[in-house]
Amino acid sequence: VAATIRDVADACGVHISTVSRTFSAPRLVNPSTRTRVLEAARGLGYRPNRVARALTTGRTFNLGLIVADIANPYFPPLIKAAEAQARQRSYHVFVTDTDEDPVVEEDLVHALAKQVDGVVLGSPRVRNRVVEELHRQLPLVVVNRRAEGVPAVLMDVGRGAGAAVEHLAAYGHRHVALLGGPSGSWNNRNVCRGAGEAAEATGVALHVLEPNAPTEEGGAAAALDVLESGATAALAYNDLVALGLMDELGRLGVRVPDDLSIVGIDDIAVSRLTRPRLTTVAMPTAAAGRMAVDMLLQLVDAGPEPTTPRATLDTSLVVRESTAPPPRRRPEPTPGSPSRRDGERAAHTHR
Amino acid sequence: VAATIRDVADACGVHISTVSRTFSAPRLVNPSTRTRVLEAARGLGYRPNRVARALTTGRTFNLGLIVADIANPYFPPLIKAAEAQARQRSYHVFVTDTDEDPVVEEDLVHALAKQVDGVVLGSPRVRNRVVEELHRQLPLVVVNRRAEGVPAVLMDVGRGAGAAVEHLAAYGHRHVALLGGPSGSWNNRNVCRGAGEAAEATGVALHVLEPNAPTEEGGAAAALDVLESGATAALAYNDLVALGLMDELGRLGVRVPDDLSIVGIDDIAVSRLTRPRLTTVAMPTAAAGRMAVDMLLQLVDAGPEPTTPRATLDTSLVVRESTAPPPRRRPEPTPGSPSRRDGERAAHTHR
DNA sequence: GTGAAAGCGCTAACAC
DNA sequence: GTGTTAGCGCTTTCAC
């Protein structure tokens, strides 16, 4: 039902190549015929078919952006910055979510392959081997991952995690629990490394706990483990985990920061709105999104550089209210505090 | 550099159509040649070019999902549900963000047009005329918008807003401030209507304030207006606005709910983590996402139905801790409380 | 400045 | 079951 280039050509008695030029290289066509074509096109509601165009030119003017979990507030600033940057260069960004599943992630790159001019892989969950392999098949920039020969935007979370541990040590904490994240995540390895080194340097005992899901639920689920570990402070893989933990501790009658200190990582928007406000390691996600798009576009326009670009952005510790000196006695749950997360929900709904 | 269908055909001495069939209609080709083709394909790293395929078939097996602001936690559950539903039917979802800009929104639909089999327009900001026009050009399902002849998934936020006002009235509030949202939003019109009707019915005076951005910043910016309005309670266009307002009121020394009650709309995940926990109107966003994809796929597979489907989902008031009876005296800001949002940030960063 | 012709990578009748 | 042919909508040499 949509008008094609031929309809427009017929409508104003020119060859299709003239119509084509009017849209892709207007300067090559006589101004008067150009306006005639444009008018006919408008009358018919014609728009060049981007799929057909892509088939001949090999260019789509789309970029793909793949993230592990779009519901994690960590990603939106990165996404929006990437989109803004791309839009400025007349590219569109297609965002997709892998649900933290490496298989889905790999599948998505392949699915996007010919439909975009390049892909930004945000915090990949696939293994390095796969990243390198994918990079051979299409322009690829990776965020928070080091892979051989693959352009990358890195955020120095190791330092940030280290600063967090030092901050806790300075308060006098001697036992810190570390709530790990996805094992496929470069980010997580760096958190562990950075925290570990700082712990060693400051003589703090680091209790590394099994990773749960990197979500509020994961954080809530870890509450008892944290208490049992005997730690007086916890460093969480991300703010969501920290917030979930903090909330669950509240239910258990453990006060933050009086009984237990908590540090998150990411500095998502809401961390500033909770009570207590969350102490956290701020990640420069917007800058990372912008930069990833810049690198990708350079890759697309100019081909692979002789030297693979790699940018590392600084993180910084933001001290708010969820950290304090350790209590005299180790924290314990107050028996009798119910732990139902949605108790308030069932009772009051209209109709 | 990527292998084409011809490379595979040559590699195993068959015609390209046989290769084509092995991928799009395997049952039509002899099992033995099929495995030969498959092996050659694997050896060459061949994958059918989805763009080329789309050009002939007219089908991409992609869906577009356009949202006003991906950073608004209202959308992710809808997005994830839509993706899950689509994935189950082997479709991919491309998400894009309009930045609340109607012009970008319209442009995005056109850009997506031939690259997807249909689009879900989540909470459109464009005018109805435009929605109807777009619907004529490609399969389209709209969320939270009624437009002539356009399939829609609606959430009955009017009722929810009404329930919120009734809840406040029952507590004894007589003056309620209403913080409106984007004027292009059907949702906002319904909030206003629902709240207005309930206010009338319960004898509550509704103070409708100028809409700010539907974000935390917008809510914070409205704090003084709310106080000046003389209201003892506020209903916000969404949870983000409510949370921003609540936080700013805290800075001004106004206590929630003791001095002022607040009700949000959406029930985003974090509304359960703030102190006080936010009373809000829960929106069934995940169900809406699922349903929108179902409708769209039906539209794509079966063509337009004789009768345009329209589903309306219920909303429900979730009473938490941000509402209470009005104070004896009207709330006033405590002079001397500074209102710097990021004051804590500048001071403590490592290096 | 414009037309003619070839072809991007694939599918879909239609023969055989 | 497989090969042949035409063509999806567009761009891009190459002539004129």
* pLDDT means over runs of 10, chain A (351 residues): 94 97 96 97 97 97 98 97 97 97 97 98 95 96 96 97 98 97 92 98 96 92 96 97 96 96 97 95 98 97 86 97 90 56 37 30
Predicted local confidence at residue B330, as pLDDT: 64
Interface test with B, best of A74, A87, A215, A349 (most B CBs within 10 A): A349
Beta bridge partners of B266: B282
Highest-confidence segment of A206-210, B80-84, B180-184: B80-84
Q: Say what the pLDDT of residue B302 is.
A: 85
Closest CA of chain B from A94, distance in Å = 5
- A76 close contact with B: CB closer than 8 A: yes
| Subunit contact B272:A97, Cβ cutoff 8 A | no
User: Mean of the pLDDT values across residues B314-321?
Assistant: 97
Amino acid making up residue A51? V
Query: Is B110 close to A316, i.e. CB distance below 8 A?
Result: no
Å from the A120 CA to the C8 C1'? 26
The answer to whether residue A346 neighbours chain B at the CB level (below 8 Å) is no
Q: Which of A80, A137, A269 sits opposite B70 (nearest CB)?
A: A80
pLDDT at residue B304, rounded to an integer: 83
- With 70 as the cut, is the pLDDT of residue B346 above it? no
Which residues 285-344 on B are within 7 A of strand D at the CB atom?
none
Nearest chain B CA: its distance from A159 CA (Å): 9
The strand pairing partners of B177, in sequence order, are B207, B234
Q: Say if A59 is an interface residue toward chain B (CB within 8 Å).
A: no
Q: What is the pLDDT of residue A334?
A: 65
Residue nearest to nucleotide D7 (CA to C1'): B56
Count residue pairs from A and B with Cβ separation < 8 A.
Answer: 168
CB B117 within 8 Å of CB B300: yes
Q: Do B96 and A93 touch (CB under 8 A)?
A: yes
- Token code pair at residue A229: 């570990």
Q: Which residues of B touch A3 (CB under 8 A)?
A: none
- The sign of the torsion formed by the CA atoms of B30, B35, B36, B37 equals positive
- A111–B273 C-beta distance less than 8 A: no
pLDDT of amino acid B335: 58
Q: Does the beta carbon of A42 lie under 8 angstroms from any beta carbon of chain B?
A: no
Which pLDDT score, from 0 to 100, does residue A335 have? Answer: 59
User: Which amino acid, A197?
Assistant: E
The secondary structure element, H or E, covering residue A96 is strand A92-97
Give the closest residue to A19 by CA, choosing from A40, A45, A44, A50.
A40
Average pLDDT along chain B? 93
A97 membership: H or E segment, kind and range = strand A92-97
Q: Which of A165, A186, A237, A177 is CA-nearest to residue A209? A: A177
Nearest by CB to residue A349, choosing from B47, B83, B317, is: B317
Which long-range contacts does A181-185 make (Cβ < 8 Å, 24+ apart)? A181/A211, A181/A214, A181/A237, A181/A238, A181/A241, A182/A68, A182/A100, A182/A125, A182/A211, A182/A214, A183/A211, A184/A102, A184/A124, A184/A125, A184/A126, A184/A127, A185/A123, A185/A125, A185/A144
C1’ D3 / CA B17, Å:
8
pLDDT at A304: 83
Chain A contact present for B202, CB below 8 A: no
CB within 8 Å of chain A, chain B residues 228-247 = 243-244, 246-247
Nucleotides, chain D, CB distance < 7 Å? 1-5, 7-13
Residues 287-326 of A with CB under 8 A from B: 314, 316-320
Encode burial over A28-61: b for 16+ CB neighbours within 10 A, e otherwise: ebeeebbebbbebbeeeebbbbbbbbbbeeeebb
Query: Which nucleotides of chain C are near protein (any atom < 7 Å from a CB)?
Result: 1-5, 7-13
Which H or E run includes A205? strand A205-209
Average pLDDT rounded to a whole number, residues B277-299 = 97
Q: Which of A280, A350, A286 is nearest to A316 (CA)?
A: A280
Q: Is B28 exposed, middle or buried (0-12, 13-18, 19+ CB in 10 A)?
A: exposed
Position B331 scores a pLDDT of: 66
B63 and chain A: CB distance < 8 Å anywhere? no
Written as six digits, the tokens of B272 are: 């359960």
Interchain contact, A274 vs B277, CB within 8 Å: no
Distance from CA of B167 to the nearest CA of A (A): 10
Long-range CB pairs of A47-51 (<8 Å, 24+ gap) are A47/A2, A47/B110, A47/B113, A48/A5, A48/A23, A48/A24, A49/A2, A49/A4, A49/B114, A50/B111, A50/B113, A50/B114, A50/B115, A51/B51, A51/B54, A51/B55, A51/B60, A51/B114, A51/B115
Q: Does residue B215 sit at the A interface (CB-CB below 8 Å)? A: no
The one-letter amino acid at A221: A
Chain A environment of B160 (Cβ under 8 Å): 350
In A, which residues are within 8 Å of B346 by CB distance? Answer: none
Minimal CA–CA distance to A133: which of A102, A163, A158, A155? A102
Question: Which pLDDT score is estimated for A15?
Answer: 97
Q: Does B59 touch chain A (CB under 8 A)?
A: no
Q: Which amino acid is at A17?
A: S
> Closest residue by Cα to the C1' atom of nucleotide D5?
B17
Q: Using the beta-carbon criterion (under 8 Å), do B351 and A274 form an inter-chain contact? A: no
What's the pLDDT at B1?
76
| Token output for B328 | 């004896």
